[in-house]
Amino acid sequence: MDAHSPCTCFQLRRAARRVSQVYDRHLAAADLSLNAYSILRRSSQPRPLGELAEALGMDRTTLTRNLKPLLDVGLLSAVPGEDSRQRQVQISAAGKRRLQKAFPLWQHAQQEVETLFGSARTTTLNQQLEALSQALDQGRAA
C-alpha cells in the first residue's frame, strides 16, 4: 500500500502523524508534546479519567500512560473523585504556566497548517472530522 490507499484509516493516521509532527516541533519550545498540550488544555477543572479520555478520544489505558509523566513533573494533580474509587485530574499552577507558554507556540503550529493547507480547507476539514467523530460515536452507541 502506498499514498493512494483507499483505506480511510490509513489516510487519516498518516495525515495525523504528519500534522502532529508540525505541532510537536512548535510545542517542543515549551517542553510539551501535542498529546501533553491537549491533556492540559482539557484539564482546567477536575475531571474523572473516563470523561477526560472520552473528550480526548483515547481509551483509559492510553490516557493513564500519557498522564503519568505530567503528574510526575507536577503539571497535573490527581484529586479524589466523588467516591473513593474515582480519581480525577486537574491542571496545577505549574501546568497553567506551561500552558500559557505553549499557547502561542500552538497558534504558530495552527497557522503553519492553515498556511500549507489553506484556511478555508482547514475549516472544512475540521468540520468534516467533527462530523465523522459524531457519526462514529452514534454508531458505537447504537
Q: Per-residue pLDDT for the chain (142 aa), expressed as one digit of tens each?
A: 466 888 999 999 999 999 999 999 999 999 999 999 999 999 999 999 999 999 999 999 999 999 999 999 999 999 887 877 788 999 999 999 999 999 999 999 999 999 999 999 999 999 999 999 999 988 887 7
CA–CA distance from 90 to each of 62, 118, 125 (Å)? 17, 35, 30
Residue type, 56: L
The pLDDT value given to residue 129: 95
Q: What's the whole-model pTM score? A: 0.88
Strand 76-80 relative to strand 47-48, pairing: unpaired
C-alpha 141, offset from chain centre: 22
The pLDDT value given to residue 111: 98
The pLDDT value given to residue 139: 83
- Grid cell at residue 51: 470523561
Q: What single DSSP character describes residue 93?
A: H
